[in-house]
């Protein structure tokens, strides 16, 4: 495996972990970066499979919380309702993801100009949502009713368009439906666990026969990098959002999308 390929896998892994849980679209960033770096994996599988590093990052950070939740399930109706709400929110993405998998990977993943435009448009949407001044109805994810969780799950499906952002869609949707910023971001974390795990498992099932030894090595490098950077983001994002909101991510999206359009114009 060439040194350039190793460096590319390392950089994309770090980018995956840094952006997966931020409302900036990790997939959009990976596809754009891969386009300009000349990094290509069979069926765009690398970009999905290195999500395992980010999945393990959030499981590591939330391990004690998950264990506590599991212990409460037999005796706590509130804990059971929360788990049911998360699974209900995951359901729309599971169904649409399976039905539209090939279209997403072969059409939407191959449209860098569309990704740039969606990044910019999503930035303005997030700006408008972040500036809403309304008293929140929900400040604790354990109090999210299943109906609210299901509606957030429907909105999450927009993230199948690269550049939209899974976390951005779920956070914006939760904010519009009465959640506060911290709980909206935290619910996005919990919803990421089944959503990303399902996407990883299904993509591996669909593409395992296309992977070579070099592909597995690249994925391993990207996985480790995504895990390390993902742990950092998960540990600090909630406090950052509580203090500063989403303004920095709004401008991040707009700048990256604009830079991408300029890059595509001069270096298509």
Percent of all residues in the chain with a pLDDT value above 70, rounded to a whole number: 95
* pLDDT tens digits for range 50-99: 888 888 999 999 999 999 999 999 999 999 999 999 999 999 999 999 99
More confident residue, 104 or 88: 88
Cα angle vertex 157, ends 38, 83, to 5°? 120
* CB neighbours of residue 90 within 10 Å: 23
| Cα 145 to Cα 127: distance, rounded to the nearest angstrom | 26
Residue 246: which residues within 8 A CB-CB, separation 6 or more? 23, 126, 127, 129, 130, 171, 181
Q: According to the model, what pLDDT value does residue 172 have? A: 92
Q: According to the model, what pLDDT value does residue 1 have? A: 46
More confident residue, 149 or 240: 149
Q: According to the model, what pLDDT value does residue 267 have? A: 77
* pLDDT tens digits for range 222-242: 889 999 999 999 888 878 887
More confident residue, 40 or 124: 124
Question: Residue 41 above 80 pLDDT?
Answer: no
Question: Residue 134 above 70 pLDDT?
Answer: yes
| Cα 85 to Cα 262: distance, rounded to the nearest angstrom | 42
Q: According to the model, what pLDDT value does residue 52 have? A: 84
**Average per-residue pLDDT for the chain:** 89
| Cα 251 to chain centroid, rounded | 18
Q: How confident is the model at residue 140 (pLDDT cuts 50, 70, 90)?
A: very high
* pLDDT tens digits for range 188-211: 999 999 998 998 888 888 877 777
Q: Which of 73-82, 116-125, 232-241, 255-264 has the lowest mean pLDDT?
A: 232-241
Averaged pLDDT, 155-163: 93
Question: Residue 254 above 80 pLDDT?
Answer: yes
Averaged pLDDT, 8-32: 89
Q: According to the model, what pLDDT value does residue 43 have? A: 61
| Cα 239 to Cα 256: distance, rounded to the nearest angstrom | 24
């Amino acid at each position: 495996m060439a040194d350039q390929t190793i460096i590319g896998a390392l950089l994309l892994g770090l980018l995956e972990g840094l952006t997966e849980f931020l409302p900036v679209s990790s997939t959009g960033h990976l596809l754009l970066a891969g386009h300009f770096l000349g990094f290509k994996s069979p069926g765009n599988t690398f970009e999905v499979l290195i999500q395992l590093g980010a999945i393990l990052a959030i499981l590591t950070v939330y391990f004690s919380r998950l264990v506590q939740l599991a212990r409460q399930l037999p005796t706590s109706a509130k804990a059971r309702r929360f788990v049911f709400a998360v699974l209900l929110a995951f359901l729309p993405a599971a169904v649409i993801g399976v039905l539209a998998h090939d279209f997403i990977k072969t059409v939407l993943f191959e449209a860098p100009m569309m990704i740039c435009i969606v990044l910019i448009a999503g930035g303005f949407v997030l700006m408008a949502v972040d500036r809403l001044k309304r008293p929140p109805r929900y400040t604790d994810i354990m109090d999210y009713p299943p109906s609210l969780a299901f509606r957030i799950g429907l909105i999450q499906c927009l993230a199948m368009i690269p550049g939209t952002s899974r976390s951005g869609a779920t956070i914006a949707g939760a904010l519009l439906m009465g959640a506060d910023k911290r709980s909206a971001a935290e619910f996005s974390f919990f919803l990421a666990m089944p959503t990303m795990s399902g996407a990883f498992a299904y993509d591996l099932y669909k593409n395992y026969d296309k992977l070579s030894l070099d592909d597995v090595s690249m994925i391993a490098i990207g996985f480790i990098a995504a895990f390390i950077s993902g742990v950092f983001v998960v540990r600090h994002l909630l406090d950052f959002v509580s203090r500063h909101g989403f303004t920095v991510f709004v401008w991040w999206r707009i700048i990256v999308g604009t830079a991408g359009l300029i890059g595509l114009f001069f270096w298509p």
